[in-house]
Chain A
């Protein structure tokens, strides 16, 4: 007996000491790491929410490189202009906007702009990336050629210095859309042509030089023009270092340096980790959907507004409807659905109240697009939550809903007495806020007597189904990035039949197949308005055209908008850095400090100690 006891006690001792050793030695190491790591907390900004999964490439020609080369992040590679999502204005970065008209957009390159290898940023760099599609059809920027027919270069005098003036000529034979050119000027980042031409030349014998260059990781000493550059990275974080010789410090920021010497983007495996890290002060700002954000303010986590709706909205998630399938091809049926949705419940319960109340139509009543919104039209043509109105529309259409004794919906028959099949809303399983939206929508629709059910599927099947139109209803966030072309791009994404193709083939806009150009009831007005709006220069005429289009949307209800969601937003913690822009200190728009005009935040932040 004693032997056993001894060994048990011995084992326990070993365990306890090993734990003590582990934690003991670690406490010590952790203290040291503050000094040894080279990233002192007071000089390092921790930002998150823009990189998921291993960083696999920092190549700007790749379709989805790692942060901050991906998307519209301006830390390493810079665009010509920065869009301010709040004022709707364009702020200068590599260039300054001179004029925009229906024929062309003119900018002047900043003559001070330089690459990190000392070469100046020139029109050759701009032309390289904007015209890459002429040389390679699969270039990531190839679509720019549909909008820009030519880039004219002239030399002008800029405060005594010679500067290059670029005229982006609207491609009238192509898409004839100066609005999208503005999207491109703030979206496409300029890359050093001398570097990339050399890389392409190195593969000139390959059958596809571009695709060979796209495979390069470009993760060491990249040639950039922005205020930060890649220092190091692993699968758990990306570290950027400040470039003290950034040309813009003198040319744009009065000689000041951005305050943080390092920016670290940790890579966590779920939203919860970003939320917890923010709360613990390990992260300073993050673009992360955190439910019930008000519970975190005690831990120093804040948002643009201190109170509801906390964020500024940017996108409209909608139920896209298969407009070709009975009974969904009946516009009164679709309108009945729009009346049956409890928009307030969706806003409050599914998205934590992070949006102002939704208005009928697809023009948002806030932000730069608010000037096209008409309250009067919404009242006259729009559908809002009203079960009785929904029921009346259904009854007028000859639909009969049969309810069970307990009040729940049993089935629906149409005017001919035929049973209407159950309709399913396709939505990716596990996207919790989306699932909640769908559940509330289903509840409302069933209450009104419409036989709809949730259809949660694997995200891979969702993405596959979306462009084919092979569904009844599907949750989708069209035109999801906040760009200068809103709300036009939202109309294009929802109503355009320019690329009409049958169910089963792919469409990247109007996936619900609204307004078939070959059908008898085709309404050419819709497509012509979508085509003409970008070319209208008179603001009053433009507002009128938008109103007309929005009324057509409300009358035909091709999709069901559900709520507004913040799109470019972030939460910040003031434990280690202060001076964040917010409602009361709105020196920068509510964009992450690496997106668009939000970047100037970096020059205003102050370390706490």
Chain B
């Protein structure tokens, strides 16, 4: 039935594969943190057991194991025990079953480390900051980088000779070095911009002009710390793609035909852009994971730090919640690119029409 509808067939086929990928990813996300030797309750005990005697610490540990569903519990709510009196641990498979049941109910669980805060609450509070920081930086960085890269490829000459090494230098600077340099120069030395935080120290987030103004002011340094490096990297990629495309027959032909420069540049840009577009989609997909380094340097709110501490503390529900979010957004981004490339890339389009997949 779908034979006559190659595009729909293509989308469904791709979609099926993405569903399989999603299930595999969720399973791996669940089991991977549990493979290590460290146990989340031991880490919590490290912080609450100071000053407690051995018996009191044991008592407390068991109440956490039970609270977090890491031990088996009998009908009347008591911990089931092994012959030597140690609590009987719930197996990973049992936990996985519980996890899937909860996921289907839309419940991501309660964070161990931020107990009794819900994982969903942590994500809802952090994601707006992450998107606000990442989306514009990635988009602007991509656009500016690609335009400059295409220009450099096309014009070469002095512009390229200055631009290319500069872009190379900037894009090879590690984020943290560049971020720290920005803080040192623009905040500590010049005092133009605040060194840390997402908004002023005397504000509480609200829908007010004051708050948004302050947030924008605090946005400047973190924005540039990512934007410039990203743009530099994109420009280098676009430049080499552009130079490659310049050597192709169609550009030479267009030049012989005497087409106007912007027109040629537009052709060039469109073709050189394809791999860049894939890169853009991937970075948009993974942006939800947060800009960890930027968050750390600027003490900026976001999901990156939440995820790092979750991983450091084996906070299973938090890791699962974050990775689920990242998985979904990466898959959606990839799916979108797949579909877009299908429409944009004449080669893929031709393949589709000839009945390929």
Known: A4-B151, A11-B144. A480 touches B50 (CB 8 A): yes
Contact between chains at B200 and A30 (CB < 8 Å):
yes
Contact between chains at A11 and B147 (CB < 8 Å):
yes
Contact between chains at A137 and B38 (CB < 8 Å):
no
Binds B, one of A15-23, A245-253, A395-403: A15-23
Q: Who on chain A is nearest to B111 by CB? A: A56
B203: chain A residues at CB < 8 Å are: 33, 37
Contact with B along A503-518 (1 / 0, CB 8 A): 0001111000000000
Task: Tell me the chain B residues, 30-78 only, with Cβ under 8 Å from chain A.
Answer: 37-39, 42-61, 63, 67, 77
Binds A, one of B89-97, B211-219, B348-356: B211-219
Contact with B along A186-215 (1 / 0, CB 8 A): 000000000000000000000110010011
Q: In the assembly, what is the distance between CA of A467 and CA of B46, in Å? A: 9
Contact with B along A232-246 (1 / 0, CB 8 A): 111111010000000
Contact between chains at A461 and B38 (CB < 8 Å):
yes
Contact between chains at A57 and B117 (CB < 8 Å):
yes
Contact between chains at A1 and B45 (CB < 8 Å):
no
Instruction: Pick from B58, B117, B192, B200: contact of A56, CB below 8 A.
Output: B117
Instruction: Pick from A41, A56, A269: contact of B116, CB below 8 A.
Output: A56
A481 near B: Cβ within 8 Å? yes
Instruction: Pick from B49, B53, B114, B188: contact of A54, CB below 8 A.
Output: B114
A542 near B: Cβ within 8 Å? no
Known: A25-B216, A211-B67. A507 touches B54 (CB 8 A): yes
Known: A46-B201, A57-B116, A266-B197. A33 touches B55 (CB 8 A): no
Minimum CB–CB distance for A133 against chain B, Å: 9
Contact between chains at A481 and B51 (CB < 8 Å):
yes
Contact between chains at B59 and A499 (CB < 8 Å):
no
Contact between chains at A26 and B214 (CB < 8 Å):
yes
Contact with B along A455-477 (1 / 0, CB 8 A): 00011111110110000000000
Q: Who on chain A is nearest to B48 by CB? A: A63
Contact between chains at A64 and B54 (CB < 8 Å):
no
Task: Tell me the chain A residues, 275-296 only, with Cβ under 8 Å from chain B.
Answer: 276-277, 280, 282
B57: chain A residues at CB < 8 Å are: 467, 506, 508
A235: chain B residues at CB < 8 Å are: 125-126, 301
Known: A26-B216, A458-B312. A479 touches B48 (CB 8 A): no
Which one of B63, B117, B212 has the greatest number of beta carbons of chain A within 10 Å? B63
Q: In the assembly, what is the distance between CA of A467 and CA of B48, in Å? A: 13
Task: Tell me the chain B residues, 199-254 only, with Cβ under 8 Å from chain A.
Answer: 199-205, 208-210, 212-214, 216-217, 219-220
Instruction: Pick from B114, B122, B210: contact of A36, CB below 8 A.
Output: B210
Known: A53-B114, A235-B125, A459-B312. A266 touches B201 (CB 8 A): yes
Instruction: Pick from A33, A53, A232: contact of B213, CB below 8 A.
Output: A33
A264: chain B residues at CB < 8 Å are: 201-202
Contact between chains at A23 and B192 (CB < 8 Å):
yes
Minimum CB–CB distance for B291 against chain A, Å: 13
Contact between chains at B116 and A44 (CB < 8 Å):
no
B100 near A: Cβ within 8 Å? no
Binds B, one of A138-146, A164-172, A551-559, A591-599: A138-146
B196 near A: Cβ within 8 Å? yes
Contact between chains at B42 and A4 (CB < 8 Å):
no
Contact between chains at B53 and A146 (CB < 8 Å):
yes
Minimum CB–CB distance for A17 against chain B, Å: 14
Contact between chains at A26 and B217 (CB < 8 Å):
yes
A-B Cβ contacts below 8 A, count: 202
A388 near B: Cβ within 8 Å? no
Q: In the assembly, what is the distance between CA of A27 and CA of B193, in Å? A: 9
Known: A19-B220, A508-B53. A460 touches B60 (CB 8 A): no
Which one of B50, B202, B204 has the greatest number of beta carbons of chain A within 10 Å? B202
Which one of B51, B53, B192, B262 has the greatest number of beta carbons of chain A within 10 Å? B51
Contact between chains at A215 and B196 (CB < 8 Å):
no
Minimum CB–CB distance for B326 against chain A, Å: 19
B208: chain A residues at CB < 8 Å are: 36
B155 near A: Cβ within 8 Å? yes
B154 near A: Cβ within 8 Å? yes
Contact between chains at B197 and A460 (CB < 8 Å):
no
Q: Who on chain A is nearest to B192 by CB? A: A23
Q: Who on chain B is nearest to A460 by CB? A: B38
B330 near A: Cβ within 8 Å? no
B127 near A: Cβ within 8 Å? no
Q: Who on chain B is nearest to A479 by CB? A: B51
Contact between chains at B53 and A509 (CB < 8 Å):
yes
A540 near B: Cβ within 8 Å? no
Contact with B along A110-148 (1 / 0, CB 8 A): 000000000000000000000000000110001100100
Q: Who on chain A is nearest to B39 by CB? A: A464
B77: chain A residues at CB < 8 Å are: 207-208
Contact between chains at B261 and A4 (CB < 8 Å):
yes
Which 5 pairs from chain A and chain B are nearest by CB? Answer: A29-B213, A26-B217, A463-B46, A499-B54, A56-B117
Further contacts, 19 of them, CB under 8 A, given A237-B201, A268-B197, A462-B46: A11-B144, A19-B220, A22-B220, A33-B213, A44-B202, A54-B125, A62-B115, A63-B44, A137-B59, A138-B60, A183-B51, A235-B301, A264-B202, A269-B299, A273-B195, A467-B42, A467-B57, A508-B52, A508-B56
Residues of chain A whose beta carbon lies under 8 Å from any beta carbon of chain B: 1, 3-4, 7-8, 11, 15, 19, 22-23, 25-30, 32-34, 36-39, 41, 44, 46, 53-54, 56-57, 62-64, 137-138, 142-143, 146, 183, 207-208, 211, 214-217, 232-237, 239, 264, 266, 268-270, 273, 276-277, 280, 282, 458-464, 466-467, 479-481, 483, 489, 498-499, 501, 506-509
- For this complex, 26 residue pairs linking A to B, each with C-beta atoms less than 8 Å apart, are A4-B151, A15-B144, A22-B219, A23-B217, A26-B213, A26-B220, A29-B212, A29-B213, A29-B216, A36-B208, A41-B202, A138-B59, A138-B63, A143-B53, A236-B301, A237-B204, A268-B196, A273-B195, A273-B196, A458-B312, A459-B43, A463-B43, A464-B39, A464-B43, A498-B53, A501-B54
